[in-house]
Chain A
């Protein structure tokens, strides 16, 4: 446990040191998005003013999940593929799986920081009417934690499978479709107009994160049922954690 906390301490020191670039990475995208979709386009009359209510949960979901995924995957790709720096951490008196778990926790913490920054920002800029009940708040905390965990674990799978040469490919081939088909910019229920597409996107874990945030923040809007959201978030988390740690161990040991 001592080693685990010390590893966490080390990673948070590094996060703190790079806090400016971290904030820029986390804030810029939602800020631009909010400006165009929440401010410019409604004024042009291209989209309805109420659209921002639909948008806020998705923006928050994207910021948190992508933060935790990047926080775990990018350092791993560099460590395993190039610098071998991970061996420094592997000398610590802790099991390999313990080191992997610590990486996931760091991803979750970074996602929470991202959420804490993006939520008030989006809320202020988009002027969404949030009316959180206690149940909504509990949903919000659960969805936030589960989604962060899911994508931290997913980041571990990506980070241990992908080589440094392929990393830009991952962003275009894997991440872009995930984001566009992730129900961030539209509620899943509205996809019923294209039934095959509505069912096809269900393989995308991002759908459940965004729908979960919708369920918690804007329950008045159409959203997926809570049992489906939680079942999928827990299921995907368990699967990616298992797969990620397994692959992490096999990459860490020869």
Chain B
């Protein structure tokens, strides 16, 4: 497989702008590779380092250490050549507010030196495809979140990039628009476009990506296909118990000996039971707790998921 994105030991520390403020270590040595045609996801909570990684790969952020290459070109050494190869859909709405939707597409390709006729043809085609034709001659101020997002993607595709970068493309979209966006991105990938996307929605990563890198606090925790990642959660199933007060050590020992239990993790008011099956387990766990006079205030059973994996790796929920 031909590697198109190569990231090796990438580090980024943001220095405080003023005298006050702290240094922020956004990336602490991340490495991964993406092959041509892949749909690759960076999954992690807000502040994990996803946007910084995409920022470096799209030449907007200077790395403090390590190397990032696009098609063999070092992004820090030759950013202009890299910009020719990539399409970028940033998280913020950076559409040109002085121009109409159609002009945004036309000027964007003019920056890339595409011939006039070709620009017109491609803009018309993309506006139609992204259902923006009837608003093509309007400025973008009144556009809905979904329209803005579609126009940002259209702009990124106007110069026929080899790679597409999307930073949290469905944040703030309603479920229907999100579903439509997923279909669109899958279709683009099927046609051969290499896509790197960041998200903090597990369903999104699970649904779209061929491989996912889970990152948190600037470190890469795990990298594999969604199916493999889910399988790597001990047992797969997770039973979470909310307990009142401490002193539940005897309960934990009891739980470990229950059939099906693979691993137990506990902090002062929460017990996580990883198991390879759940039948009867919850009832047994509740019985054990009640025998030891430990009060369970909440219980939750979940199937194998990336959320469980993230929880297992970091002890925190992605949603926290």
User: Which chain A residues have a beta carbon within 8 Å of chain B's beta carbons?
Assistant: 2-3, 6-7, 9-10, 13-14, 17, 83-95, 252-254
Q: Which of the listed residues B81, B97, B155 has the most CB atoms from chain A within 10 Å of its own CB? A: B97
CB contacts (< 8 Å) of A6 on chain B: these are 107, 110-111, 113
CB nearest to B56 among chain A residues: A254
In the complex, 30 of the A-B residue pairs with CB atoms within 8 angstroms, ordered by the A residue number, are A3-B112, A3-B113, A6-B107, A6-B110, A6-B113, A9-B110, A10-B99, A10-B107, A10-B110, A14-B99, A83-B94, A84-B94, A85-B94, A85-B97, A86-B94, A87-B92, A88-B96, A91-B58, A91-B83, A91-B88, A92-B83, A92-B112, A93-B83, A94-B80, A95-B80, A254-B14, A254-B52, A254-B55, A254-B61, A254-B62
CB contacts (< 8 Å) of B61 on chain A: these are 253-254
User: Which chain B residues have a beta carbon within 8 Å of chain A's beta carbons?
Assistant: 14, 52, 55, 58, 60-62, 79-81, 83-84, 88, 90, 92, 94-99, 103-104, 107-108, 110-113, 155
Decide if B92 touches A84 in the complex (CB within 8 Å). yes
Q: Give the A-B contact count at a CB cut-off of 8 A.
A: 73
Closest 6 CB pairs of A and B: A92-B111, A2-B113, A6-B110, A87-B94, A254-B61, A93-B83
Q: How far is the CB of A88 from chain B (nearest CB, A)?
A: 5
CB nearest to A3 among chain B residues: B111
Partner of B96, one of A2, A85, A95, A253: A85
Q: How far is the CB of B49 from chain A (nearest CB, A)?
A: 13
Partner of A94, one of B60, B62, B111: B111
CB contacts (< 8 Å) of B62 on chain A: these are 253-254
Decide if B95 touches A88 in the complex (CB within 8 Å). yes
A89 CA to B107 CA, complexed, in Å: 10
Decide if A85 touches B95 in the complex (CB within 8 Å). yes
CB contacts (< 8 Å) of A83 on chain B: these are 94, 97
A17 CA to B107 CA, complexed, in Å: 15
Decide if A93 touches B94 in the complex (CB within 8 Å). no
CB nearest to A11 among chain B residues: B98
CB contacts (< 8 Å) of B14 on chain A: these are 254
Q: How far is the CB of B157 from chain A (nearest CB, A)?
A: 13
A43 CA to B52 CA, complexed, in Å: 66
A13 CA to B58 CA, complexed, in Å: 27
Decide if B95 touches A93 in the complex (CB within 8 Å). no
Q: Which of the listed residues B62, B84, B98 has the most CB atoms from chain A within 10 Å of its own CB? A: B98
Decide if A93 touches B112 in the complex (CB within 8 Å). yes
CB contacts (< 8 Å) of B52 on chain A: these are 254
CB contacts (< 8 Å) of A10 on chain B: these are 96, 99, 107, 110
A9 CA to B92 CA, complexed, in Å: 25
Decide if A17 touches B98 in the complex (CB within 8 Å). yes
Q: How far is the CB of B217 from chain A (nearest CB, A)?
A: 18
Q: How far is the CB of B101 from chain A (nearest CB, A)?
A: 13
Q: How far is the CB of B240 from chain A (nearest CB, A)?
A: 38
Q: How far is the CB of B143 from chain A (nearest CB, A)?
A: 14
